[in-house]
Amino acid sequence: MKQAAFASVAIKTPRREEICAILNEPYDPDHWNDWRWQMRHRFTRLDQFEKLLDLTESERRGLSLASEKFSVAVTPQFAALIDPHDPDCPIRLQVVPQENELLVSPGDMTDPCGEDGASVVEGLVHRYPDRVLFLVLDTCAAYCRYCTRSRLVSQGELEPLGRRIEEALAYLEEHTEVRDVLLSGGDPLLMSDATLDKLLGRLRAIPHIEFLRIGTRIPGFLPQRITPELVAVLRKHRVWLSLHFCHVKELTPEVAEACDRLADGGIPLGCQTVLLKGVNDSAETLRDLFHGLLKLRVRPYYLYQCDPVLGTGHLRTSIETGLELMDQLRGHTTGYAVPTYVVDAPGGGGKVPMQKQTIAGYDDGVWHIRNWEGKTYSYVDPAER
């Protein structure tokens, strides 16, 4: 495998042979680097995780009951990053269920972002004036335990795209105010190149649609999927990618190579990170992640307060924690490494930027502003003429 130019953030080589032995498969580099093989051999069952990890009782019960709440699936690629002996491993906390998922905390919601209420046709959410969310699949390469759409993803309730695409496209053609379409799900990059090419082509054929984005965690969960052919499709339709990474441990050589391929192909890359208790809730951890992303030419874009999805209370921090972390980042590192901290307002209020008050006061045309050190400065408005 080619060593990516910015792979200095990478961790040690994953334990591939051991992973394959657990799956009763001989290790074959060609198989490992085949994204379809990775999908066919995901970890989904308790007996597999018992061989992979020293399970805690909470994890064992969580895995036993997961089918009642939200499916479990972890690609061999991502499973190889999990520390088998550390229940607090930041990779492990993201994808291995715990018994706490069965607990409902105050404020928990089935649909915290209010997407169902803003759906204009099945799978098409129109909340903001000029943009829509298009849910094209309900499957992912692996399932984050804090998934905002756990009510929908992996549940088999979303109609296949082929049965609803004409209604969605008709809505978009009629609503000329829509200029921005975000494809999500599920993960759109699990579609075949041909299917994705056709879908993007039909969206591009609508004159008033100017901006196409795809939300994906594929480069981290399944970097083998980022093939030259896929990059050519994305480049052809001038697509932007919103990636998802939560910890620097995820930035492996394979991920670095995938990001290099995308960036070299002209695909703009941003990252949406979720603030998670025990995973990345320290300034040092976030700084390491954001610096690592910049090395891969991925711009940290949003730091999300974890949505209050049912059963995620054990993974959520307070907003005060998020504000304090942002204070420890802003001004202490390059601005490119500081994302916008946002709360997706529960109930469908959309993204609300969160920051401690930077305006200390205003007096007769003079603004008193507070910087990252807590010091106050004055800015005088220009005189009206």
Task: Give the per-residue pLDDT at 237.
Answer: 98
Strands (E) located in 191-345:
211-215, 239-243, 269-275, 299-305, 340-345
Whether residue 183 is predicted with pLDDT greater than 70 in this model: the reply is: yes
SS3 label, residue 174: helix
Tokens of 306: 């974890």
Decide if 246 is catalytic: no
Burial class (CB in 10 A: 0-12, 13-18, 19+), 214: buried
Task: Give the per-residue pLDDT at 156.
Answer: 76
Decide if 236 is catalytic: no
Decide if 277 is catalytic: no
- The residue from 131, 198, 202, 277 that is catalytic is 131
- The residue from 34, 51, 69, 128 that is catalytic is 128
Decide if 40 is catalytic: no
87/97 Cα distance (integer angstroms) = 11
Sequence-ordered list of residues with C-beta below 8 angstroms from that of 74, at least 6 positions apart, any chain = 42, 43, 44, 82, 95, 96, 142, 143
- The residue from 60, 127, 198, 204 that is catalytic is 127
Out of 101-115, 158-172, 361-375, least confident range: 361-375
- The residue from 16, 204, 330, 351 that is catalytic is 351
What tens digit of pLDDT does each residue of 70-87 get?
899 999 999 999 999 999
Its pTM stands at 0.91
Q: What mean pLDDT do residues 271-296 have?
A: 98
265/278 Cα distance (integer angstroms) = 35
Decide if 336 is catalytic: no
Decide if 128 is catalytic: yes
Decide if 381 is catalytic: no
Whether residue 283 is predicted with pLDDT greater than 90 in this model: the reply is: yes
What tens digit of pLDDT does each residue of 140-175 get?
999 999 999 988 888 878 889 999 999 999 999 999
CB contact at 8 A, 137 and 186: yes
- The residue from 42, 61, 145, 149 that is catalytic is 149
- Residues of the chain with pLDDT > 90, as a percent, come to 76
Q: What mean pLDDT do residues 338-362 have?
A: 86
What tens digit of pLDDT does each residue of 188-198 get?
999 999 999 99
- The residue from 89, 144, 259, 271 that is catalytic is 144
Categorize the per-residue pLDDT at 14 as very low, low, confident or very high, splitting at 50, 70 and 90: low
Cα Rg of the chain (Å, integer): 22
Sequence ranges of the domains in the chain: 1-354, 358-385
CATH number of 1-354: 3.20.20.70
Out of 140-149, 174-183, 281-290, 344-353, least confident range: 344-353
Decide if 271 is catalytic: no
Task: Give the per-residue pLDDT at 384.
Answer: 65
- The residue from 89, 140, 271, 306 that is catalytic is 140
Categorize the per-residue pLDDT at 269 as very low, low, confident or very high, splitting at 50, 70 and 90: very high
What tens digit of pLDDT does each residue of 223-258 get?
999 999 999 999 999 999 999 999 999 999 999 999
Task: Give the per-residue pLDDT at 383.
Answer: 67
Decide if 306 is catalytic: no
With CA atoms as reference, report the closest residue to 52 among 111, 96, 13, 6.
96
- The residue from 147, 246, 259, 271 that is catalytic is 147
Tell me the pLDDT of the chain averaged across its residues: 92
Categorize the per-residue pLDDT at 5 as very low, low, confident or very high, splitting at 50, 70 and 90: very low
Decide if 379 is catalytic: no
